[in-house]
Amino acid sequence: MAESLKPHGNLSEINSYVAIGDSFTEGVGDPGPDGNYLGWADRFAARLAVERPGLRYANLAVRGKLLHQIVEEQVPLAIAARPDLVTLCAGGNDVLRPGSDPDKLAAEYEEAVAALTATGARVVVFTGFDTRWVPVLKLIRGKVATYNELLRAVADRYDCAVADMWGLTSLHDRRAWSEDRLHLSPEGHDRVALKVGRALGLAVDGDPDAPWPAEEVAVTAGAARLENVHWAREHLVPWIGRRLRGQSSGDHVTAKRPELAPLDLTVAERASRAS
């Protein structure tokens, strides 16, 4: 059943939307029919386009980008486009790096929010995921929580809507994540799209925190250990190796929707129902 919440502003004023960020916003883990990734931003834009026909949408996000790269490369493009709505999720790749400072990251993030809101755009701020259930990444849980609190303060100062990923407990289920455990699965992306819609007061067609169906076969402790070993060998070690070599998964990757353009409603409706 669709639910309607009090809007964070007037949805009737949103005719253009720009998404900026890294792999999370690009949609890695959620392959689309055209070879590009779909992802929560496309899914959210599709739902918004059904309510706001003629919505123009751009997605500037590129996987692997650090906060300063997003601020330097994507934020100016978003400002130049002068959209009505901007979603900004950035800093996650930085927080994962040893020695990163949440206070410095939040200060840089705030500069971006200040510049975007100065154009009159409505901005959605994202908190980071709770990493307590992920091997190795649970060690940085405190740093993620600190960064989140700083971002909440930024959102409060600039009257931004907050899409709370930390509190989205449905993402604590392994089915919300792709095999690499660093990117969401298609269903995980759809849960986030619903969460963003609710943050803005959009009527949504589901509950982002609805319980997952019971699994037919329970995962034993032994199987879980084997999965963790496989994950570390196939995904974690290569990820660490790229960072030690100064490489990024986004090298030579360009934005999938670099300019504001209308969404085809037929495609939009299909995307909003994809899972």
Contact 149, 102 (CB under 8 A): no
> What does the block give as tokens for 56?
């123009």
Whether residue 79 is contained in a domain is answered as yes
Contact 124, 162 (CB under 8 A): yes
The count of domains in the chain is 1
Render pLDDT for 126-137 as a digit per residue (tens, 0 to 9).
999 998 877 777
pLDDT of residue 8: 56
Whether residue 219 is contained in a domain is answered as no
Q: What number of helices (H) and strands (E) belong to the chain?
A: 11, 6
**Alpha carbon 195 to its chain's center:** 11
Strand 85-89, strand 16-21: pairing: parallel
Whether residue 272 is contained in a domain is answered as no
pLDDT of residue 227: 66
Whether residue 218 is contained in a domain is answered as no
Q: What is the CATH number of the domain that holds 81?
A: 3.40.50.1110
The three-point CA angle 189-192-197 to 5° equals 130
Domain holding 185, by residue range, is 11-206+254-265
pLDDT band of 34, cuts 50, 70, 90: confident
Name the pTM for this structure. Answer: 0.86
Strand 16-21, strand 257-262: pairing: unpaired
Strand 161-163, strand 257-262: pairing: unpaired
Whether residue 163 is contained in a domain is answered as yes
Of the candidates 103, 94, 110, 125, the residue with the CA atom closest to the CA atom of residue 25 = 125
Residue 98 has pLDDT above 50, yes or no: yes
Of the two residues 210 and 221, the one the predictor is more confident about is 210
